[in-house]
Amino acid sequence: DETSGITTITLSSAPANTLSLELLTNLIEKLRDIEKDDSVKGVLVTSKYNGETFISGLNSYDMHNQTDERLAKYWTAVQDIHFTMYSFGKPIVAAINGDAVAGGCAFVLTCDYRVMMKGKRTGLPEAQFGIVAPFFYIDVMKSVIGNRQCELALLEGKIFSTEEAAKVGLVDEAVDLNLVLPNAMKKLQHLVKIPQPAFKLTKQTLRQADIEKFIANRDQNLKTYIQDLTKHSVYVIIRIFFYIVQGFQN
């Protein structure tokens, strides 16, 4: 919208907005363009699958049965989206109109404000898959909900209902579906009116330690990811699909 300076990104990767290499590559490019475009003041992110899924996590197919080169490309994109969103110089608000699990939860945690539809699910279930969540997923959750709540959640791979997520501050508002977009937009319209250099610097200052840690550790994390997936991918993928079919333990 040219008058408000707000851009809406509607994720629409069938069937359930998995964070595939293609989706991530397009999104990173779009966000980098927006960052340079002075006419854009803020970004609202939502999903085409209104009332169903916001993001169903990383794409299982991109993590299984791939060459090391392809795995590296995928994981670099996973790291890049995290870093690009978390260090984004303009306000980003998530209008979470469906489930946002695993990589989907980490994605919304990088935003500045989260409005989520009641009765849906979010959280980092990696422990239920028998794996450790990437350190930058853990760090962003810790910075949003605090160390103790993060321990309670991650040690058991807890999947929160929207209402539970709102109680611990994992999302900022739990609302009926029809209010997700309007409430998210209202918050964003407020955020874009804050003097932008102050907004950007304050955000940078708050997030600087995590960003520096991320930059220092990303190469090692990429190596570890490729080794782990080469060894364990069959097991991990089977667990993920088990939870797609059976649902997560609450």
Residues that bind ligand LGGBLMCM (CB under 6 A): 15-16, 18, 52-53, 56-61, 99, 101-103, 121, 126, 131, 133-134, 225, 228-229, 236, 240, 243-244
Sequence-ordered strand ranges (E) for 108-250: 113-117, 121-123, 159-161, 173-175
Minimum gap (Å) between residue 142 Cβ and ligand LGGBLMCM: 16
Residue nearest to ligand LGGBLMCM (CB): 57
CA distance 163 to 238: 29
| Closer by beta carbon to ligand LGGBLMCM, 20 or else 26 | 20
CA distance 117 to 192: 23
CA distance 3 to 200: 21
Minimum gap (Å) between residue 128 Cβ and ligand LGGBLMCM: 9
Minimum gap (Å) between residue 167 Cβ and ligand LGGBLMCM: 20
| Closer by beta carbon to ligand LGGBLMCM, 1 or else 68 | 68
Minimum gap (Å) between residue 206 Cβ and ligand LGGBLMCM: 25
With b for 16 or more beta-carbon neighbours within 10 A and e for fewer, the 21-41 pattern comes to bebbeebbeebeebeeeeebb
| Closer by beta carbon to ligand LGGBLMCM, 46 or else 56 | 56
Minimum gap (Å) between residue 154 Cβ and ligand LGGBLMCM: 12
What amino acid occupies position 83? F
What value does the CA radius of gyration of the chain take, rounded to a whole number of Å? 17
| Closer by beta carbon to ligand LGGBLMCM, 198 or else 245 | 245
| Closer by beta carbon to ligand LGGBLMCM, 99 or else 173 | 99
| Closer by beta carbon to ligand LGGBLMCM, 43 or else 58 | 58
Least Cα distance to 238 among 139, 109, 136, 128 occurs for: 128
Sequence-ordered strand ranges (E) for the chain: 6-11, 42-47, 53-55, 92-96, 99-101, 113-117, 121-123, 159-161, 173-175
Minimum gap (Å) between residue 211 Cβ and ligand LGGBLMCM: 20
* Neighbouring residues of 152: CB distance < 8 A, sequence distance ≥ 6: 158
